Amino acid sequence: MGGVCAATHDTDVAQRATWTRRCAALALLVMTPLAAGCAASEGDVDGSNRSGASVSGATLEGSLHVLVAASLLPVAEVLAGDFELLHPGVDVQIAGAGSSALREQVLAGAPADVFIPADPSHLQTVRHEVGISGEPVVVARNSLVLAVPAGNDAGVAALADLTRPELLIGLCAAEVPCGAHARAGLSRAGIEPVPDTDEPNVRALVTKLAAGELDAAVVYASDARTAAGIESLGWDAGSAPETTYEAAVLTRAPNTQAAEAFVDFLHSAAARDTFVAHGFGAP
């Protein structure tokens, strides 16, 4: 404190100069987006005039809120971008989390248009308590695989290795679909895993696995395909647990038109190719 005060006297002028510069910089920072905003809104006006003149009321616009299971997040971002190219007036907002957490958000009144959980059972709860319009549409499938960090330093070979206590093993919590399906599949195969962590959603699990902080984990085939730094070892004990992604438009969707168009788009051939490229199964 004392040192600072003593120094103030000498450097008063210099400090004032610094402050002037800082203020100028700050003013620039504040004004740039403002100017950009002005330009953008002028563009919007032009755009809406054009579309209003040419199209007969079928133009979709506004924002569209889509809640997706954590495992869908990477592919959903890509699909949202594709959809926005087709419908430039629509701004698609993707939110991803554990399916059951999303279900709770929907039940609690989150402003959403489309809900795509990793397990159709969550959709049933939502249908009963909140209501969905029309029938849910299957947009993709996924299966679970044993995955290891790139390099597989621990030498994991099979699902049975999930029982080795000296390895660091991760699963999803039993409360989220990836955890429930993994446990069901392992128990069918008579394997009792000894996890070191039950992550609250599959993204968190993939992050730890890719960082090499786990030796093996059960994740979705889509994660094993797209996440950098992890390898899939498949499922070596009977048939792999599968899950189905069903998309539904909520009854109270603020933007029903865009929501229905988005679900249709997810069912299109183009979207199917994108899903498959990300390691998902076709519906």
Contact footprint for another protein (CB under 8 A): 1-3, 98, 100-101, 103-104, 168, 170, 173-176, 195-200, 204, 207-208, 211-213
Residue 50: CB minimum distance to another protein, A: 42
C-alpha distance across the termini of the chain, in Å: 68
- Maximum Cα–Cα distance across the chain: 79
Decide whether 96 or 279 has the Cβ nearer to another protein.
96
Q: Cβ of residue 228: shortest distance to another protein, in angstroms? A: 14
User: What gap in Å lies between CA 169 and CA 77, rounded to an integer?
Assistant: 29
Residue 107 tokens read as: 């039940």
CB 204 within 8 A of CB 213: no
Name the minimum Å distance from CB 197 to another protein: 3
Residue 142: beta bridge partners? 243
Where does residue 95 fall: left (phi above 0), alpha (psi -120 to 50 degrees), or beta otherwise?
beta
Residue 12: CB minimum distance to another protein, A: 19
User: In this structure, are residues 76 and 275 in contact, taking their beta carbons and an 8 Å threshold?
Assistant: no
Closest separation in Å from C-beta 3 to another protein: 4
State which residue, 61 or 198, has the beta carbon closest to another protein.
198
Residue closer to another protein by CB (options 196, 231) is 196
